Structure 1
Amino acid sequence: MFRSKAEKKVLEAGYEPSRLPPGQYLTDKWPVLHAGSVATYPADLAGWDFRVWGEVESPIALTWAQLNELPTVEVTQDIHCVTRWSRFDVTFAGVPWSAIRELVGQRPSARFAIAHAEAGFTANVPAEALEQEGALLATHADGEPLTAEHGRPLRLVVPGRYFWKSAKWLRGIELRGDDQPGFWERLGYHNDADPFAEQRYAF
């Protein structure tokens, strides 16, 4: 019954029901969910940087100004939270991974990417997930700079996975030859996090 009610709402909103993963409901809001407190920074982001290291030829640390000199893209996609809400047609803008990959010289041995965010939060994905259409380091959502609650100034956006993989307050990407479970994965959440397969938990 839950699924049929959810599908009915999607139809009434004018969308194709197949866009909604099982166990999800559609919302036009963007709920705020995270572990710990909201990260805050100076208005000019003085002292902020974004690092990439690990299986690369040239590790980097970019200031906010340097990051904003890189090419940008805009993508529109659906997002799905493991807490069961979905939001359709969210437009993100930011730096594609390809621009970062060229700077660092990503090695073929880089099979996994670990997102490092504030307060020690991490999220892990296969490195190839960063190459997917729609993946980017987002600075904007729906035409506006990210708010503090949604990850200002930078968050990872990884399409096709529950949204905890899209780490807020991103400060770095570590490329590794081996996988390393992230914050929620170590607490029992599924390593792959495919919403359409309902990969919510590892158990």
Structure 2
Amino acid sequence: MADLTLYTNPHSRGRIARWMLEEVGQPYDVEVLGYGGTMKAAEYLGVNPMGKVPAIVHHGQVVTETAAICAYLADAFPEAGLAPEPHERADYYRWMFFAAGPVEAAVTNHSMKVVPDEKQQTMAGYGNFELAMRVLESAVAKHPYVAGDRFTAADVYVGSSIGWYTRFGIIQRNAAYDAYLERIESRPAFKRANELDDAAAAEMQSAA
């Protein structure tokens, strides 16, 4: 039994955490949870009272929130080289948490057809959807990776978000996104993680 456990569902942001775990290359156990079932059971609520996935437990310590999981694993396993170098820290933290905060809020509201009026835009951290998307695009167009010339944990989170949003048509693909996604999705760890999650999804479907 590994000292690291991933709680996930293959139809969730747990795919991001799985990719990050494959990048760090450490052994881990997996608990696949079902929506409305084991995800809301008392046992898992003891791990994450929100009843959401993903979550990881490492040496008895719980980490939830996908961006936090990516940042934590990069720091916990520095030999993987996914944490930022000093000159990369500003963009690393800036864009990872921009994607986790303003972009996530903008996409959620856009999907629910919630459009802030001019006054509400001054209160919303993302302003409006179009503004948040323009800034996100600029982040991936500036350098090969969001923190500069090297792949980091920030790319796992930001890249997964862009991949998810473009595949579901929430944001439109363009040259900047296509080039960025081609770079990060060619990584062996990304491919392994996808294969594992696709297999888990097929197993869940067969069991149902």
What is the TM-score of this pair, normalised by structure 1?
Answer: 0.26
Structure with the bigger percentage of helix: 2
Structure with the bigger percentage of strand: 1
What is the TM-score of this pair, normalised by structure 2?
Answer: 0.26
